[in-house]
């Protein structure tokens, strides 16, 4: 049996499932919309049945800031990051001087 690892972004799947079923929402007897739970669970069951992974990890976002948000919070770091991002463009562009 071959080993297969699947890494899932839970909130991306939940968001997608919620809005994919927005035209025909799944509503409980108490009026709660369950599109997200229904779609997420169906995606997991479908993945398990069709792909048969040997390993799976489902990752959820936290309220804590991620590494990029921390990196970009200070102004000097923002400027440095922008310089790094624009460096390949600046090197490859032709001069605008006549």
Indicate yes or no: pTM above 0.85. Answer: no
Residue 5 — φ and ψ, nearest 5°? -110, 130
Q: Indicate the range of 19-28, 33-42, 87-96 predicted with least confidence.
A: 87-96
Q: What is the pLDDT of residues 27-84, one digit of tens each?
A: 999 999 999 999 999 999 999 999 999 999 999 988 887 766 776 665 555 555 555 5
Cα–Cα–Cα angle for 5, 42, 36, rounded to 5 degrees: 110
């Amino acid at each position: 049996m071959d080993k297969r690892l699947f890494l899932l972004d839970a909130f991306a799947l939940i968001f997608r499932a919620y809005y994919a079923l927005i035209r025909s929402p799944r509503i409980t007897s108490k009026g709660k919309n369950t599109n997200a739970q229904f779609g997420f669970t169906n995606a997991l069951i479908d993945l398990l049945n069709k792909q048969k992974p040997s390993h799976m990890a489902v990752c959820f976002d936290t309220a804590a800031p991620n590494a990029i948000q921390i990196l970009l919070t200070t102004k000097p770091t923002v400027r440095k990051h922008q310089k790094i991002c624009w460096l390949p463009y600046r090197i490859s562009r032709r001069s605008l001087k006549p």
